[in-house]
Amino acid sequence: MALKKGSVSGFAKHEDEGGNGGIGGYRLVLAVLVALSVLASLPFVVVSDFHTIGEGVISSSPSKGVIDDIPVKTNNTATIGVNSSVNNNFTLSLSLVGDSSVDAISMLSQTTVVSRGTLQVEEDTSLGAARRIAREERHENQLLELDLDPPNEDTIVKLENANMQASELVDSSIIGKYSKWKKENQNKNQDSTIRLMRDQIIMARIYLSISEKKRKHDLVQELQICLKRSRGVLGEANIDAELHYSAPKKIKAMADVLSKARDQLFDCKLVTRKLRAMLLTEEEKVRRLKRQNTFLIQLGVKGIPGGIRCLSLRLTIDYYLLPPERRNFPRSENLEDPRFHHYALSTDNVLAAAVVVNSTVMNAKDSSKHVFHLVTDSLNFGALKMWFLLNPPEEATIHVENLDELKWLNSSYCPVLRQLNSAAMREYYFKAGHSTTRSSSASNLKYRNPKYLSMLNHLRFYLPQIFPELDKILFLDDDIVVQKDLTGLWLVDLEGKVNGAVETCVENFHRFDKYLNFSNSFIAREFDPNACGWAYGMNIFDLKEWKKRNLTGVYHTWQNLNEDRLLWKLGTLPPGLMTFYGLTYSLNKSWHVLGLGYNPSINPSEIENAAVIHYNGNMKPWMEMAMTKYRPYWTKYIDYDNPYLRQCNFVK
């Protein structure tokens, strides 16, 4: 039906008379019509500046203005959000949920006005109520979740204890072993250029591998050139200050090539596989280097420094040039007098023995009361005697004995000598089939260490037989330094026990199960796996009680049972723990501080306050591998102006 002209004119006239209010009414009618058409037919609609961005989501994208994200969520209605972007573009979105879609769209049409690219959001009373309800429901849900399983006091205590233990572990690992790591990372920007170059090199290696597989020859060439130049600039630098001045240019060039490679080749799966392969390769390199390091350390421990060989040779020559009447020490009448303080030391190292004797005498209140019994092999007998003939230890008494002259110490009496001479033992220690490569024979080489094969190391089990007239004796290793007067050790009441020693167990470390094979029935039946271990190196022995209990016979019994090495593998400490089990008196730890041959983090105050410090471990103070900060405690007792030491090129 056609409209009358007057009707149209009247409508237009009404608009003109109404001014802005007429236009606003027209737009309101239009908005209502659009809303009804959406509900009647389509789930997606485009009208004016609105466009759809998903099912049930309406979005508007004006070109100006900045509005922060404003999310509103109601459980059974909708989610409204105003999302802004960096370049001043933003969207208004509405996610429809459940049967409240009509109310949500109606609410949106009543409260959102879009005009000339500027979006203004006005809340009416109903929208404010919806937001308040949503907040309250979220809060209630959170409280409900907490109330479902409220933690009791025990649970809270357990959680607190677990967190405390975890924090203690982290603190101890960072402050102690990984203190260097901690210091390096206190400043995140420290040497950042070097780290950036290393990271670039890693990524370049990854893309080089991928580009070679995908036959990107031009990219391969560019990456190879950049890798060569970056490695050349990096060189042996460890800090940014050591880098070549051209480092920034190389970094920029590498970044350009890496950006190009990423655009052409980036594949997350390929990069991940390559990184994993590189990691496994580096781990294998680390393992191989560790094996080589073990081999070289064992080789270094086995060898004798050239200076010590030179010293022994020169002293031996000069000793046998002496007339027989000048080869004897004074005060021999003190050697069997139990009123003196007697020391036992078995060694084949002249310089080490000199430090032990000198440090003991220099720190003694009355050196005339001390008697030193040194036992060595025939190869070093002349050298050791000559050194102390030329360098007598003040008023102390000294005696040097040749191991080979102890005729009673033979294979028929001593199980160790019999075992060392057996074909099975020679096969075990010097097996022809053993590999001679650095990587595979490291573990075998330690079995050939002289300290495991030399009878000098086993003499500690024969002290009553070597010194039958003595009641007490202080046994010392040759890798110790005495820092205080040791007279007090002879006054210690051992309470009927035989061995006075410092215990070494800490928590689960250095207990019997570390040294002995508790899968063996003999071991499991006789010993407690949690019994505390103790240290050789400074031990006060009651020889009268030793002989009464026939402990040398006990040692022989265990040594015979271990001929096939099923009870323990190496050394004299395991049989010592077994022989003196239940017969060891625990001395105060300040008498004997250990670890200077392997532990770099000993408290300096412990070292200063110790009566005896012990370089147990591979890093002996007379070797080049010794730890520098501990070496002065040893070298202070050596006179480097001695002509023999100068001739053999000894230096501090």
In one letter, which amino acid is 279?
L
Cβ pair 612, 590 in contact under 8 A: no
**How big, in percent rounded to 5, are the helix, strand and coil portions of the chain?**
55, 15, 35
Cβ pair 361, 394 in contact under 8 A: yes
CA of 467: how far to CAs of 61, 163, 494, 609, in Å? 102, 57, 20, 32
CA of 275: how far to CAs of 5, 216, 390, in Å? 81, 20, 65
Low-confidence ranges of the chain (pLDDT < 70): 1-190, 301-302, 428-452, 507-508
Count of residues making up the chain? 652
Contacts of 353 (CB under 8 A, 6+ apart): 345, 347, 374, 376, 384, 387, 478
In one letter, which amino acid is 203?
M
pLDDT of amino acid 577: 96
Cβ pair 227, 204 in contact under 8 A: yes
Cβ pair 223, 261 in contact under 8 A: yes
State the angle between helix axes of 217-234 and 192-213 in degrees (0 to 180), rounded to the nearest 10.
150
> Cα torsion at 338, 339, 345, 351 (round to 10°)?
-150
CB-CB neighbours of 164 under 10 Å = 10
- 356, 371, 302, 335: which is closest to 538 by C-alpha? 356
Cβ pair 310, 628 in contact under 8 A: no
DSSP 448-487: G-HHHH-GGGGGGGGHHHHSTT-SEEEEE-TTEEE-S--G
How far is the C-alpha of 264 from the C-alpha of 244, rounded, in Å?
Answer: 31
Q: Does an H or E element contain 614, and which?
A: strand 612-614
CA of 489: how far to CAs of 375, 455, 459, 587, in Å? 22, 27, 21, 9
pTM of the model: 0.61
How far is the C-alpha of 592 from the C-alpha of 616, rounded, in Å?
Answer: 11
Q: Which CATH architecture has domain 306-431+446-648?
A: Alpha-Beta Complex (3.90)
- 255, 264, 171: which is closest to 217 by C-alpha? 264
pLDDT of amino acid 243: 86
- 586, 460, 572, 476: which is closest to 531 by C-alpha? 586
- 554, 565, 573, 460: which is closest to 515 by C-alpha? 573
- 468, 217, 446, 450: which is closest to 336 by C-alpha? 468
- 134, 531, 538: which is closest to 344 by C-alpha? 538
pLDDT of amino acid 408: 94
pLDDT of amino acid 525: 93
pLDDT of amino acid 128: 56
pLDDT of amino acid 447: 57
Q: Which residue has the tokens 């050939």?
A: 448
Note the pLDDT tens digit of each residue in 12-32. 333 344 444 444 444 444 454
Note the pLDDT tens digit of each residue in 320-370. 999 999 999 999 999 999 999 999 999 999 999 999 999 999 999 999 999
How far is the C-alpha of 607 from the C-alpha of 633, rounded, in Å?
Answer: 9
How far is the C-alpha of 132 from the C-alpha of 629, rounded, in Å?
Answer: 69
* The token pair that represents 614 in the structure block: 């012990």
How far is the C-alpha of 74 from the C-alpha of 85, rounded, in Å?
Answer: 24
Q: Which residue has the tokens 């060989």?
A: 309
Q: For the chain, what are the domain ranges?
A: 306-431+446-648
pLDDT of amino acid 82: 38
